[in-house]
Amino acid sequence: MYSPAAKAVAEKLGLQTGRANLEEFADTLLALAQANRNVLAVTSDSRGSGKLGPFGHALPKQIVEVGIAEQNLVGIAAGLGSCGKKVFAVSPACFLTARSLEQIKNDLCYSDHPVTLVGISAGVSYGALGTTHHSLHDFAVLRAINNITIVAPADNFEAREAVRVCAGHDKPVYLRFGKAPLYTLPAADTAPFTLGKARELRAGHDVAFLASGETVIHALLAATHLAETAGLQCRVVSVPFVKPLDHAAVLAAARECRAVITVEEHLVNGGLGEAVAGLIAQAGIATRFKIVALPDEYTVTGSQAEIFRHYGLTMEGLSATAQGLLDRN
Amino acid sequence: MPTDHELALKSLLYRRNLLRWIKHAGAGHTGGSLSCVDILNVLYNRILRVSPATFSDPRRDRYIQSKGHSVEALYVVLADRGFFPESDLATLCGYQSHYVGHPTRHVAGIEQNTGALGHGLPLAVGTALASKLDDAGFRAFTLVGDGELAEGSNWEAALAGAHYQLDNLTAIIDCNTLQITGRTRDVMNHEPLSEKWSAFGWAVRTVDGHDLAALTAALEQPLEAGKPSCIIARTTKGKGVSFMEDVGKWHHGVPSDAEHAKASAELDAAIAQLVGGAA
Q: Do B126 and A79 touch (CB under 8 A)?
A: yes
The whole-angstrom distance between A327's CA and the closest CA on chain B is: 52
Summarised one tens digit per residue, pLDDT across range A33-53 is 999 999 999 999 999 999 999
Average pLDDT value for chain A? 97
pLDDT given at position A266: 98
Interface test with A, best of B105, B156, B159, B165 (most A CBs within 10 A): B156
CB atoms within 10 A of CB A4: 7
Task: Provide the pLDDT confidence category of residue A75 given band limits of 50, 70 and 90.
Answer: very high
User: Do A147 and A170 touch, CB atoms closer than 8 A?
Assistant: no
CA distance A75 to chain B (A): 5
Q: Identify the domain containing residue B215 by its residue range.
A: 4-278
Q: For residue A56, what pLDDT is reported?
A: 97
Residue A81: pLDDT above 90? yes
Domains in chain B: how many in total? 1
Chain B residues near residue A72 by CB distance under 8 angstroms:
122, 125, 153, 156-157, 160
- Domain annotation for chain A: domains and CATH numbers: 4-16+189-327 (3.40.50.920), 18-183 (3.40.50.970)
Say what angle helices B152-163 and A70-82 make with each other, to 10 degrees.
60
Q: What ipTM does this complex have?
A: 0.96
Distances (CA, A) of B36 to A269, B33, B51: 45, 5, 20
Cβ <8 Å between A82 and B123: yes
Per-residue pLDDT at B278: 59
Residues in chain B within 8 Å Cβ distance of A75: 119, 121-123, 125-126, 153, 157
Contact present, B32 and B74 (Cβ < 8 Å)? no
Model confidence pTM above 0.90:
yes
pLDDT interval class at A329 (50, 70, 90): low
Q: What's the confidence (pLDDT) of residue A168? A: 95
pLDDT digits (tens), chain B, 279 positions: 899 999 999 999 999 999 999 999 999 999 999 999 999 999 999 999 999 999 999 999 999 999 999 999 999 999 999 999 999 999 999 999 999 999 999 999 999 999 999 999 999 999 999 999 999 999 999 999 999 999 999 999 999 999 999 999 999 999 999 999 999 999 999 999 999 999 999 999 999 999 999 999 999 999 999 999 999 999 999 999 999 999 999 999 999 999 999 999 999 999 999 998 755
Q: In this predicted structure, what is the pLDDT of residue A305?
A: 96
Comparing CB atoms, the residue among A77, A83, A103 nearest residue B119 is A103
Chain A hits for B129, Cβ within 8 Å: 64, 76, 79-80
CB B103 within 8 A of CB B117: no
Q: In chain B, what residues touch A83 (CB-CB under 8 Å)?
A: 58, 62, 126-127, 130-131, 134
pLDDT at position B1 is: 86
Query: Is pLDDT at A215 greater than 90 in this prediction?
Result: yes
A169 to A113, A131, A194, A200: CA distances (angstroms): 10, 32, 12, 23
What value, to the nearest 5°, has the Cα angle with vertex A80 and ends A74 and A85? 120
CATH code: domain of residue B18: 3.40.50.970
CB-based contact B156 A69, cutoff 8 Å:
yes
